[in-house]
Amino acid sequence: MKRPTIADVARRAGVSKGAVSYALNGQPGVSEATRQRILAIAAEIGFNPSRAARSLSGATADAVGLTLCRPARTLGIEPFFMELISGVEAELSARSYALTLQVVADQEAEVAVYRRWWGERRVDGVLVCDLRADDRRVPVLEELGLPAVVIGGPGGTGGLASVWSDDAAALVETVEYLVALGHRRIARVGGLPALLHTAIRTKAFTEVCRRLGLVDAVTVPSDYTGEEGARATRRLLSSAGRPTAVIYDNDVMAIAGLSVAQEMGLAVPGDLSIVAWDDSPLCQLVHPPLTALGRDIPAYGAHGARQLLAVIGGAPAGQVQDETAHLTPRGSTAPPRAS
């Protein structure tokens, strides 16, 4: 689909293009009711008269958009997004493209940003993160015809292109490794439950634990912050039959969990083994260094940006499977002490 034009507004409103121009520019010539209807339609389809001349010229924006629906304080300490953006930037700058980044409060605001960016010709395409089940952004982007690549999956991306990594396989490898060490009471501190990749990890964790006969396995939801990671860890370690191993959905929560264990007088890895997801440099700066699931996240971002530029150039949307996170054992995991 092409970007919205003044003709699209006129057709939907059932008026002439001249009437639309009068309404959008605050000029006399249309009734107030008609003016309000035209303004509402223009906002709905993302048409902005201040960018109309540029839109009609057919010029490209030479920019890619990325909106992040996360609290700003979380993004400030989340190594994953910083590394992902660094990879996106590296690929875009090599092609003389800019990255337009905006933090939003919710999906409604994110959809509004997409409509504005596309209507005003601010961007030529967008990267979409934090996919949700039945994500309402997907049909909106398809309706707008805005080139897009989803960083995530598999599934749930509709007709949009995507780059994804097999989180289920990585989680199964981790649980099997802990079981091979002798652990039978394994817990997981998960991320935001509404996110599709969290649901994929939770399903994989539940299934592999059931297959291996780990009846006490449990997932505690969290929000990726150190505070929530610490709170979830205290709850787990204070419970009857506390786990001997915990898998965390990011490294920030894993480091917070390590601090809680030490605060409670538990030795890591003697009393508790810890595995972190996303092997940032933080994992090797603590004592003991954390066993972690890691992949080349900047490369992941670069691959997403490269695919988006291809879609912008007219390539068909495809689903690209990226590198699966691999486990790197370090000092935070060991066989459990005999009880």
Residues above pLDDT 90, as percent of the chain: 68
Q: What is the pLDDT of residues 157-186, one digit of tens each?
A: 999 999 999 999 999 999 999 999 999 999
Tell me what pLDDT residue 54 has: 44
Tell me what pLDDT residue 19 has: 85
pTM of the model: 0.81
Q: What is the pLDDT of residues 60-87, one digit of tens each?
A: 788 999 999 877 666 667 788 989 999 9
Q: What is the pLDDT of residues 208-251, one digit of tens each?
A: 999 999 988 999 999 999 999 999 999 999 998 899 999 999 99
Mean of pLDDT values over 323-339:
93
Banded pLDDT at 59 (limits 50, 70, 90): low
pLDDT higher than threshold 60 for residue 50: no
- Cα–Cα dist 229/215, whole Å: 23
CA dihedral of residues 87, 275, 226, 151 (deg, nearest 10): 30
pLDDT higher than threshold 80 for residue 291: yes
User: Helix/strand/coil (H, E, C) string of the chain?
Assistant: CCCCCHHHHHHHHCCCHHHHHHHHCCCCCCCHHHHHHHHHHHHHHCCCHHHHHHHHHCCCCCEEEEEECCCHHHHHHCHHHHHHHHHHHHHHHHCCCEEEEEECCCHHHHHHHHHHHHHCCCCCEEEECCCECCCCHHHHHHHHCCCEEEECCCCCCCCCEEEECCHHHHHHHHHHHHHHHCCCCEEEECCCCCEHHHHHHHHHHHHHHHHCCCCCCEEECCCCCHHHHHHHHHHHHCCCCCCCEEEECCHHHHHHHHHHHHHCCCCCCCCCEEEEECCCHHHHCCCCCCEEEECCHHHHHHHHHHHHHHHHCCCCCCEEECCCCEEECCCCCCCCCCC
Mean pLDDT taken over the chain = 90
How many Cβ atoms from other residues are within 10 Å of residue 133's Cβ? 11
Tell me what pLDDT residue 22 has: 77
- Which of 238, 157, 140, 147 has the alpha carbon at shortest distance from 196? 157
Banded pLDDT at 29 (limits 50, 70, 90): confident
Tell me what pLDDT residue 61 has: 83
